Amino acid sequence: MGSASAKRLSSEDMTPDHQEPKSFGHVLVSNIQGVTVFKLPPRIDADVLASLAQGFDEVIQHPTPLVVFDFARVQVINILSYRDFVVFAQKMKKQGGGVASINLSAEINRQIDKEGLESVFNPTSTLNKALLNAGLIKNTPAIDVKFINPFIKAVLKTLGLQANTVIDIGTPRIRSESEPLQVDIAGVLNITSHAFHGTLAICFTKKVFLGVYANMFGETKNEITPEMEDAVGELLNIIFGSAKAELNDYQHYSIQKAIPTVVKGSQLNVHHSSSLNSVLIPFTTDFGEFFLDICVPT
């Protein structure tokens, strides 16, 4: 079940695209993910200021929305050097840009805080955090594989045993709030534990549900009748019970029992709360795709 472990990369996992750095003396300047990054030398003193000034001038002439100072190599910064950073930050602000700093040592952080320059340097932990804080990228949540795998295993087992249906799993992904999920019948239940509240839904188009139903009961139908709807709730109940047992026994979620609700209609649009992450897991059968939608807090 190799694809079951697939996950969508979060912003923390991204590898930045970048161009070759330019050298201004001891200062290296790169364009990474559309922003300018200054890789600062071990010592920032009067000897380095001329190189910094050249780099600053280059940025002002060819601006990017954000300049990031990388302090990874910096051991010492002369207090007199701060003025040049302040002036540059003011120029960036006038152009509608911003400044951030990453990889600062505890000592440099304390020094900047002591001098009241935190708003000038805007320290943060990583480049991606700086991009997030500046609104230049969106935070795409990572999928918790350990949490969703019990549900995937439960679907494979339940559909195989109860519905005599062979299915293949697609790649789980985070579904945005605006992404439509149009189906004809769905079973939905609330997930409640001491840690969080969420929802679980299994969603079928008419064609797929009728095919699965025929495999379950040996009856070929052309329409979804009210007496057939219980089958969706039954499948979801078994899937939920199996996943809940594993999550409670081995990951200590203390998920409580829940009763499924079945909703039916022509081209239902399954929505989720904006406060929840929707992990959409597609499964393929001989009749087409169906989906498991797991919504948990951000």
The one-character DSSP state at 142 is P
d(CA 81, CA 86): 9
Full set of structural domains in the chain with CATH: 2-133 (3.30.750.24), 145-297 (3.40.1550.10)
Instruction: Count CA atoms closer than 13 A to 138's CA, side-chain side.
Output: 4
Question: What are 26-57's pLDDT values in tens digits?
Answer: 899 999 888 999 999 999 998 899 999 999 99
Answer yes or no: are the C-beta atoms of 97 and 67 closer than 8 Å: yes
Answer yes or no: are the C-beta atoms of 159 and 126 closer than 8 Å: no
User: For the CA atoms of 174, 177, 180, 182, what is the dihedral angle to 10 degrees?
Assistant: 90
Pair of tokens at residue 8: 């969508």
pLDDT at residue 12 in the model = 39
Q: Which residues of 242-272 are buried (b: 16+ CB within 10 A; e: fewer)?
A: bbbeebeeeeebebeebebebbbeeebebeb
pLDDT at residue 139 in the model = 66
* CA distances to 66, 72, 75, 92 from 28, in Å: 16, 12, 16, 19
Which of 135-139, 194-198, 231-235, 249-253 has the weakest average pLDDT?
Answer: 135-139
Stretch (H or E) spanning 149: helix 145-162
d(CA 3, CA 14): 20
d(CA 262, CA 249): 28
Question: 145-162 and 230-251 are packed helices; what angle lies between their axes, rounded to 10 degrees?
Answer: 140
d(CA 198, CA 272): 10
pLDDT at residue 240 in the model = 97
Answer yes or no: are the C-beta atoms of 40 and 71 closer than 8 Å: yes
pTM: 0.57
Q: Is pLDDT above 50 for 268?
A: yes
Residue-by-residue DSSP string for 23-92: EETTEEEEEETTEEEEE--SEESHHHHHHHHHHHHHHHHS--SEEEEE-TT--EE-GGGHHHHHHHHHHH
d(CA 69, CA 40): 7
